[in-house]
Chains A and B, each alone.
Chain A
Amino acid sequence: MTDFKKHNPFKIPDGYFESLEEKLCNSEDAVSKLNPFSTPEGYLENLENSIHKKIGISQKSAKNRLKNSTLRYTLVAAVIVFIVTLFQVNRSAEIEKEQALNEFIENYYLESFDSYEMLSVLEDKEPESTFNLVRKP
């Protein structure tokens, strides 16, 4: 008897529950699924053009951005090169000045001093090292 009670004698069409939701939604009682929104006349036909136009503008501005940033980087690089060159020119001018001074001192000693005078300004142990110092490069 209990087995009889447990058995469900009713049947449903195949796939009934799977499509029930859709049927309910599509039934006349359900709220209309029709699109209540509209667009200005010819909007969707022209949408394509407006999208392409917008993409064209965005590409153009991207190119301009690239162009501007390239220009900016070139300018920065040029300034760096200029500063480095200026620094090196100053440095070589300093080196030249130092060399000229050394040469002047060397020439002064060689031309104005005779051997005795030169030896007198140097201590006995120094002649070799002193002459090494003023050796021409």
Chain B
Amino acid sequence: MSKQQSIFVNALRDPLTKEEAFKKLVTEYKERLYWHIRKLVLDHDDAHDVVQNTFIKIHLNIDKFRENSSLFTWMYRIATNESLNFINSKAAKMGLLNQEWIEAKADGLTADSYFDGDQAALKLQKMVARLPEKQRIVFNMKYFDNMNYQDISEVLDTSVGALKASYHHAVKKIKAELND
């Protein structure tokens, strides 16, 4: 971890500087976390709930951050877990599997006023929604967020090899569906 980040983390932990440092943290990372979450939960209102909960968790648990990864990776992990927990609870309430819930969300994108993609983008979202959860997350992080495998591996606590395999399978499935 860089010295600069260490200083920032200390500021986040110090009760005297915590609020100010946290404001900087939100300003710096709000958009990146929002978009990561949005691509996982698809709906704006859901993403809004999850992003708020993510920052609350970050605020409450900054003392537990072990500094063996970058702060952003740690926040990304929280955001990913919060998104998956959100999907779990929503799907369970409706008596659906996670994938069924997310597919229904993707099918509803046509009527979503905050989705302005063309037919190709819509088709891609539907295909991504049909991927198994792990592949879907890896595909989003690699393809849309341009994250490298090492960072994804730290966020998801999975080996780089397994991630490459997941991404490869995801791309293969999407290509196959595109060609149909």
Contact = CB atoms under 8 A, between A and B. Distances in A.
Interface of A: 25, 31-40, 43-44, 47-48, 50-52, 54-55, 58
21 contacts: A25-B143, A31-B121, A31-B178, A32-B117, A32-B121, A32-B124, A33-B143, A35-B144, A36-B115, A36-B118, A37-B39, A37-B44, A37-B115, A38-B114, A38-B115, A43-B48, A44-B34, A48-B27, A51-B51, A52-B23, A55-B59
B112 to A, nearest CB: 8
Given A39-B44, A40-B44, A32 B34 contact: no
Nearest to A50: B52
A51 B121 contact: no
A69 B38 CA distance: 37
Chain B at the A interface: SS class: helix
A57 to B, nearest CB: 9
Contacts of B60: 58
A55 B55 CA distance: 8
A38 to B, nearest CB: 5
A41 B28 CA distance: 20
A31 B31 contact: no
Contacts of B125: 36
B91 interface: no
B83 to A, nearest CB: 14
Nearest to B45: A40
Interface in B47-72: 48, 51-52, 55-56, 59-60
A48 B23 contact: yes
A55 B125 CA distance: 32
Chain B interface size band reads: 20 to 34
Given A32-B120, A38-B114, A47-B30, 4 more contacts: A32-B121, A37-B39, A44-B34, A54-B56
B142 to A, nearest CB: 9
B122 interface: yes
Given A37-B38, A38-B114, A51-B51, A31 B30 contact: no
Interface string B109-144: 000001111101111110000000000000000011
Nearest to A24: B171
B115 A51 contact: no
